Amino acid sequence: MTAAATAPDQGAAETSPRGALSRLIRDANDRGLSYSKMSQRAVDPESGTRLSKPYLQRLVTNPPANAPSPAQMRALQAALGVSLRRVKAAAAEQWLEYEATELAGYNDEVRIIVGHLAGMPEAELRRWRAMIEADERARRENE
């Protein structure tokens, strides 16, 4: 069984010392979205938290030591017009050096199963793989 992963951004090849979230904001700016416009749109719908133009610029040029809060990430989602998942993944990569692989075209049940399997030791993974492959073989034989 293979899973489609989201394609990396074309600009990802040019590495930035600033990190993934900084690049996400900078790329939006490079495409013509001004920091002023981003700031106007950067409002968390849950808490009302707003992000200022200087804060957005600082995230790109001189990022703080700590990642944005959940409310700030929701405000960034609104400012950039991207999914919250994408903002969180970029923040995780920038501040935690964690890269997530997105499974596309699958429902939440599959994502939960994959997430659960990802934390298993290698021997346990081999056992689960053998069970899944045996199930697939049995299904093909019964068709």
Q: How many CB atoms lie within 10 A of CB 3?
A: 13
pLDDT digits (tens, 9 = 90+) for 21-57: 999 999 999 999 999 999 999 999 999 999 999 999 9
When comparing pLDDT for 126 and 116, which is higher? 126
pLDDT digits (tens, 9 = 90+) for 63-78: 988 999 999 999 999 9
Q: What is the pLDDT of residue 75?
A: 97
**Mean per-residue pLDDT over the chain, rounded:** 82
pLDDT(102) > 70: no
